[in-house]
Amino acid sequence: MESSVDFEKLVRNKYRMLTRAVESRGGDKDDVALVRKAYKIAADAHKDVRRKSGEPYITHPLDVALIVTREIGLGPQSIAAALLHDVVEDSDYTKEQLEHLFGANIAYMVEGLTKIQGIFDHQSSSMQVENFRKLLLSISDDVRVILIKMADRLHNMRTLDGMPYHKQLKIASETLYIFAPLAHRMGLYHIKSEFEDLGLKYTEPEIYQELEQKLQDAEEDDGIYLERFSQSIESLLESEGITFSVKRRNKGIFSIRRKMLNQSVTFEEVYDKYAIRIIIDAHPKREKSDIWRAYSVITGVFRPNPRRLRDWVTSPKANGYESLHITVMGPEGHWIEVQIRSKRMDEEAEKGYAAHWRYKEDNSGNSALDEWVGKIREAIENQSESAVEFVDQFKLQLFSEEIFAFTPQGKMLTLPKHSTALDFAFEIHSDIGMSTLGAKVNGKLVPLSYEIQSGDQVHVLTSDNQRPKADWMNWVVTPKAKSNIRSFLREETRLSQERGKRMLARMMRKAKSELNQSTTQKMLNFFSLKNPRELYESFGSGRFSAGQFRAFVDEESGGFYQNLRRRFKPKVTAQKSVKESASRIVFGPDQIILEHTLASCCHPIQGDAIFGFIEQEGIQVHRTDCRHSVNLQGRFAEKVIIARWASGESRGFNAMLRFSGMDSTGLILQVTSVISSDMNVDIRALHIDGGDGVFTGTISVHVQDRSQLADLAQKLKAIKGVDRVEREVSKVG
């Protein structure tokens, strides 16, 4: 009973914390009343339901709502949706009832959250790609839905200890794969860092615990030093009359490990484990000048590392992040990162895009947010056929560093690092990208594959006659450029297929025939193509011409073997080599000699039963017992032709025999005697390995024909101790 009372007290305290948070952020009576109403509905829906920890379930929506308001900074509508996010799924309340009680906006958010929850209940890890796409869809409808979902996932990660290991692993992996990059892209850096650290804690617990302990030990050792450095900075800024506050930021455990792996350094060699953050209280009109004044004061005393300067004050990141990062040499030769930003910038850095929604809740958003959401919609609408490729491309854009470049008119565009001049063209507008002829960067002509550097001014040259080419796919990295080029190429392929089909139908009519299933299959066999689409495209794109079609017609009218004679008859200059190497094989009922090769999969030799198989590049000869024989003769009977060894003088061939048995004295002498003396066969190479009373060996011999090889194998088997002799055939994968 006592624990029940404790839980009631816990719930009351969380609810009070929530209402105080609403009031402290400027909420009026109506806002508090809205939150109270949502809380009562949620408490009713989840009454008598407990979490695995034993707490009443209502503590979860309360904690999610607290994260939504205190850590993300959303307003009362979002808080109400957070309280109600499991109500439709876990109780008899319907979306229509919630819409009647709370209005369309809140009901819509709850419905979106219910849908998202459903996709994460799926057990298969292969669903992650589709989950990612559905999350992006929810963002493009209402960003608040994904922000509340992030709060829900963050609370789940914070309370993951009570779950079975396999569920911990699934949820943590999903968090690292999906939620961490989204939090990063939306500017929620502290949440992104916590997602990563908690993800590492459950996916690689030993590594996490080791680094956590090392970080704690290092903090104890470095704490006094950092305190002295902070006091020095404070004294410098106070002497200049700058109003500010100072925070200390520890680098996340996940980030430390990533740097250790990427740079192949030890924990001790990661020098930016801590950062000093200076938050300047300045009027918006003076904040940039005050930031640079603080920079000047600090670097006047502590030497900066110019390679570590990150100026996101002059050029903010695409997600709106603004801050000046410098790395300076502190006392005793230690590098320390110093971040300088205004109070406004700090709040927006902590809350990301969510800071623009705080208490507005009117979907007005901001230009950076609207632009990003627009890109999401565009990416989803132009999604490639491969969902995995879609996610990989989008994650690239989420996680990659950014560069900025300028149009000739001075407009700044932000692109992922490694973007090319062609990516820049598509970023301006899809139509410009599709007709890009070339580009000038800083006044000089560059190839379309040129990698844009931050600060470049890019002039895109276009032509009405230019069209995307297949090579362009190798020159772009942004999803927008890739999807546009892919769509164009796909449409071009479709048009080529339609054009080719019309051409073939017209040419067939002239040849007094028609394009039907039978003639199409014959052409596929003749040209060694896989399907009708490939055939139509080959003609429609110009790769095949009327000449190739006439060759097909000639075969149909002139006879199968006549066509083979025309295609594969040995050239005069090749007559000698063909006769010497393999012209002992003749083809067809007329026993004609044709150029051919012996298949490497079965290595036919004279005397083997064989057949010919017609390929685009020529005829291959296989043994009838080849491992590919059933497949070739069963599926492609129309390409199989009769082949046999021609009678006449034989100059012999090399063959390899493998044999094994019980080791005995004089064995090698007996083997060589049988081969050389009894059979009068030349030995080209002999190798025997023995041990523990057994042996294996190989012998290369030159024989006249298959019959002599078979006799030799029988003679070797008759030797005492030899129990197995077989012809060795090269194996191919």
Does any domain span residue 482?
A: no
CATH for 260: 3.30.460.10
Position 295 scores a pLDDT of: 93
Domain boundary among 610, 645, 680: 645
Q: Are 274 and 222 in contact (CB under 8 A)?
A: yes
Place of tokens 């999803």: 479
CATH for 183: 1.10.3210.10
Question: 287 or 55, which is more confident?
Answer: 287
Position 141 scores a pLDDT of: 61
Question: 592 or 156, which is more confident?
Answer: 156
Residues 581 and 694 occupy one common structural domain: no
Q: Would you give the DSSP letter of residue 376?
A: H
Q: What average pLDDT score do residues 146-153 get?
A: 88
Amino acid at 717: K
Half-sphere exposure of 528 (CA within 13 A, CB side): 9
Structure confidence by residue, pLDDT tens digits, 706-721: 667 777 888 888 887 7
Please indicate whether residue 554 is annotated as part of the active site. Answer: no
Band of pLDDT at residue 340, cut at 50, 70 and 90:
very high
Q: What is the 3-state secondary structure (H, E, C) of 250-276?
A: ECCHHHHHHHHHHHCCCHHHCCCCEEE
Give me the number of domains the chain comprises: 5
Position 420 scores a pLDDT of: 92
Question: 216 or 650, which is more confident?
Answer: 216
CA-to-CA separations, 495 to 385, 466, 539, 549, 680, in angstroms, rounded: 19, 17, 11, 20, 68
CA distance 452 to 469: 21
Q: What average pLDDT score do residues 38-44 get?
A: 89
Does any domain span residue 376?
A: no
Residues 21 and 118 occupy one common structural domain: yes
Residue 194 pLDDT more than 80?
Answer: yes
Q: What average pLDDT score do residues 201-214 get?
A: 90
Pick from 613, 671, 676: nearest CA to 642 = 613
Does any domain span residue 224?
A: yes
Does any domain span residue 447?
A: no
The tokens of 488 are what?
A: 């164009």
CA distance 292 to 300: 12
CA-to-CA separations, 228 to 234, 243, 335, 336, 616, in angstroms, rounded: 10, 20, 14, 12, 78
Pick from 612, 574, 558, 568: nearest CA to 593 = 568
327: left (phi over 0), alpha (psi -120 to 50) or beta: beta
Give the CA radius of gyration of the chain. 38
CA distance 151 to 155: 6
Three-state SS at 415 = strand
CA-to-CA separations, 593 to 564, 577, 581, 585, 586, in angstroms, rounded: 10, 13, 12, 7, 5
Position 209 scores a pLDDT of: 92
Residues 234 and 192 occupy one common structural domain: no
Does any domain span residue 713?
A: yes
Three-state SS at 420 = strand
Three-state SS at 719 = coil
CA distance 7 to 10: 5
Residues 195 and 221 occupy one common structural domain: no
Residues 25 and 118 occupy one common structural domain: yes
687 — phi, psi (to 5°)? -145, 125
Residues 553 and 576 occupy one common structural domain: no
Q: Which of 90, 219, 350, 389 is catalytic?
A: 90
Per the structure, the complete domain to which residue 616 belongs is given by 563-645
Q: Would you give the DSSP letter of residue 186?
A: T
Band of pLDDT at residue 359, cut at 50, 70 and 90:
very low
Which stretch, 178-187, 337-346, 596-605, 712-721, has highest mean pLDDT? 337-346
Residues 549 and 670 occupy one common structural domain: no
Q: Name, in order, each residue with C-beta under 8 angstroms of 320's C-beta and a sequence gap of 6 or more.
A: 187, 348, 352, 353, 356, 366, 368, 369
Residues 677 and 709 occupy one common structural domain: yes
Q: What average pLDDT score do residues 521-530 get?
A: 81
Angle between helices 479-510 and 532-540 in degrees, nearest 10: 90
CATH for 717: 3.30.70.260
Residue 607 pLDDT more than 70?
Answer: yes
CA distance 38 to 15: 11
State how far Cα 541 lies from the chain centre.
31
Position 393 scores a pLDDT of: 56
Residues 25 and 149 occupy one common structural domain: yes
DSSP 435-449: TEEEEEETTEEE-TT
Position 290 scores a pLDDT of: 92
CA distance 249 to 239: 24
Structure confidence by residue, pLDDT tens digits, 343-353: 888 887 776 65
Does any domain span residue 435?
A: no
Q: What average pLDDT score do residues 479-494 get?
A: 86
Q: What average pLDDT score do residues 305-311 get?
A: 86
Amino acid at 606: Q
> Average per-residue pLDDT in the chain?
79
Tell me the whole-structure pTM to 2 decimals: 0.56
Residues 538 and 569 occupy one common structural domain: no
Whether the CA torsion 102, 104, 108, 111 is positive or negative: it is positive
Q: Where is 90: in which H helix or E strand?
A: helix 87-90
Residues 120 and 158 occupy one common structural domain: yes
Domain boundary among 168, 203, 238: 203
Q: Would you give the DSSP letter of residue 167?
A: H
State how far Cα 667 lies from the chain centre.
60
Residue 488 pLDDT more than 50?
Answer: yes
Residues 604 and 670 occupy one common structural domain: no
10 Å CB burial of residue 423 (0-12, 13-18, 19+) is buried
Q: What average pLDDT score do residues 323-328 get?
A: 91
Residue 604 pLDDT more than 60?
Answer: yes
Question: 377 or 252, which is more confident?
Answer: 252
Q: Specify the length of the chain in residues.
A: 733
Structure confidence by residue, pLDDT tens digits, 637-681: 667 788 888 765 455 667 788 888 876 777 777 777 777 766 667
Does any domain span residue 170?
A: yes
CA distance 461 to 432: 9
Q: What average pLDDT score do residues 55-67 get?
A: 90
Does any domain span residue 139?
A: yes
Band of pLDDT at residue 1, cut at 50, 70 and 90:
very low
Q: Which of 23, 55, 89, 161 is catalytic?
A: 89
Q: Would you give the DSSP letter of residue 457?
A: B
Please indicate whether residue 48 is annotated as part of the active site. Answer: no
Domain boundary among 526, 558, 590: 558
Pick from 457, 454, 461: nearest CA to 408 = 457
Cα angle 427, 431, 437 (rounded to 5 degrees) comes to 85
Q: What is the 3-state secondary structure (H, E, C) of 10-70?
A: HHHHHHHHHHHHHHHCCCCHHHHHHHHHHHHHHHHHCCCCECCCCCECCHHHHHHHHHHHH
Q: What average pLDDT score do residues 597-624 get?
A: 84
DSSP 525-578: HHHT-SSHHHHHHHHHTTSS-HHHHHHHHHHHHH-HHHHHHHHHPPPGGGHHHH
CA distance 466 to 59: 61
Q: What average pLDDT score do residues 382-399 get?
A: 54
DSSP 574-641: GHHHHHHHTTTEEETTTTB---EEE-TTT---TTS-EEEEEETTEEEEEETT-TTHHHHHHH-GGGEE
Three-state SS at 514 = coil
Residue 575 pLDDT more than 50?
Answer: no
CA-to-CA separations, 604 to 500, 590, 634, 733, in angstroms, rounded: 41, 22, 20, 18
652 — phi, psi (to 5°)? 80, 180
10 Å CB burial of residue 296 (0-12, 13-18, 19+) is exposed
